[in-house]
Amino acid sequence: MARARKTSTAKADTPPAAAVPHKFIVLTGVSGAGKSQAMRALEDLGYFVVDNLPITLLPTFAELTRRANTEIEKAAVVIDVREGALLAQFPKVFRDLRQIPQLDPTLIFLDATDAALVRRYSETRRPHPLAQHRSAIEGLREERAKLAPIRAMADEIIDTSDLNVHELREAFMSRSLGTPTHRHRGPLVTFLSFGYKHGLPLDADLVFDVRFLPNPHFVAKLRKHTGRERIIVNYLNQFEDTHAFLKQTVEFLKFLIPRYAREGKSYVTVAIGCTGGRHRSVMIAEALARELKGVDGVRMRVKHRDVANE
């Protein structure tokens, strides 16, 4: 059963519907990648959201929403593997949507790594829709195969592996969905500190190893502190290697990140690792974020994966 949600918004004076391309989003992706949270973000943006509408009704619904006498100015439909056999019809149906005059359809695909998805299913204790009597990873593999043709058509693919609920909402809110400008914003760059003894981050795009720097762990008075504290920062700033590494890495990232943005990459995870993930990697991650703040419109955040694991 399809269920519809609507968020009322104050209407400004706008040109007739026939003169303005009507925003119409089709949201899909693998199960567990965050479609429910994305739906709520779209509602907050004023979209009329319908979940699990039969694929064959998409063109009819799109035509209804773009009529001048409707109150629906922006609409979104969620499609996923629950469609069953109808899923195979989606590529043709979506191509038909693109032919509707004055309709501006956008296909957004939510994805995440298998490791992140399996962890989410384990935490929520919910079964994967295609794995009622088998493992979640088996269901995910089957789902990815079914969704591959749709993923290939997507206007935008959002990797939610490292996003929490609030960050996923921000990803939608910051995109100004449906406008040409959102494609030219810089990527969200995450500086992620970690400890090698706890394993490499699965979602890292770039990995820098700072274990060559002197280790505060072996200085008794420093051991209990973290790289966010001034005492550790001052200790590491004594060494020329710290300054040389930061200078060269900042220049490298200033060169690289704008080129990622030009290629349409929405997220870049820069992982910085030391032995335990408590001192050197934390200090360097914080320093890189400060040095690159405001460069080429880049949005940044810092995360410390293992700072509490020591």
In a domain, 268, yes or no: yes
My answer on whether 30 and 154 are in the same domain is yes
Q: Which of 261, 78, 300, 255 is nearest to 182 (CA)?
A: 261
My answer on whether 23 and 116 are in the same domain is yes
Answer with the one of 147, 179, 211 that is the final residue of a domain.
Answer: 179
**202-222 confidence digits (pLDDT tens):** 888 999 999 999 999 999 999
Q: What is the mean pLDDT of residues 124-146?
A: 75
Task: Return the CATH number at 24.
Answer: 3.40.50.300
Q: How far apart are CA 79 and CA 56, in angstroms?
A: 11
My answer on whether 112 and 205 are in the same domain is no
Q: How far apart are CA 215 and CA 271, in angstroms?
A: 18
My answer on whether 173 and 204 are in the same domain is no
Question: Total structural domains in the chain?
Answer: 2
Q: CA separation (Å) from 119 to 116, 131, 137, 308?
A: 5, 15, 10, 20
Confidence of residue 3 (pLDDT cuts 50, 70, 90): very low
Q: How far apart are CA 40 and CA 110, in angstroms?
A: 14
Q: What's the whole-model pTM score? A: 0.51
> What is the pLDDT at residue 159?
86
Domain containing residue 211: 188-304
My answer on whether 99 and 198 are in the same domain is no
Q: How far apart are CA 233 and CA 220, in angstroms?
A: 16
Confidence of residue 121 (pLDDT cuts 50, 70, 90): confident
My answer on whether 194 and 146 are in the same domain is no
| pLDDT at 284 > cutoff 70 | yes
In a domain, 310, yes or no: no
Q: Which residues contact 86 (CB under 8 A, 6 or more apart)?
A: 54, 55, 56
> What is the pLDDT at residue 119?
82
My answer on whether 103 and 158 are in the same domain is yes
What share of the chain has pLDDT > 70, as a percent? 81
> Which of 115-119, 199-203, 260-264, 294-298 is least confident?
294-298
- Of 29 and 137, the structure prediction assigns the larger pLDDT to 29
Q: What is the mean pLDDT of residues 232-238?
A: 96
In a domain, 198, yes or no: yes
Compute φ and ψ for 205, nearest 5 degrees: -90, -35
My answer on whether 246 and 296 are in the same domain is yes
Q: Mean pLDDT over all residues of the chain?
A: 81
> Which of 53-62, 125-134, 139-148, 261-270 is least confident?
125-134
| pLDDT at 120 > cutoff 70 | yes
My answer on whether 174 and 200 are in the same domain is no
In a domain, 241, yes or no: yes
Residues 298, 257: contact at Cβ < 8 Å? yes
> What is the pLDDT at residue 102?
77
Paired tokens of 153: 């058509």
In a domain, 309, yes or no: no
My answer on whether 157 and 233 are in the same domain is no
| pLDDT at 272 > cutoff 70 | yes
Answer with the one of 123, 158, 179 that is the final residue of a domain.
Answer: 179
Confidence of residue 276 (pLDDT cuts 50, 70, 90): very high
Answer with the one of 156, 179, 202 that is the final residue of a domain.
Answer: 179
My answer on whether 149 and 71 are in the same domain is yes
> What is the pLDDT at residue 297?
63
| DSSP category for residue 159 | E
My answer on whether 151 and 31 are in the same domain is yes
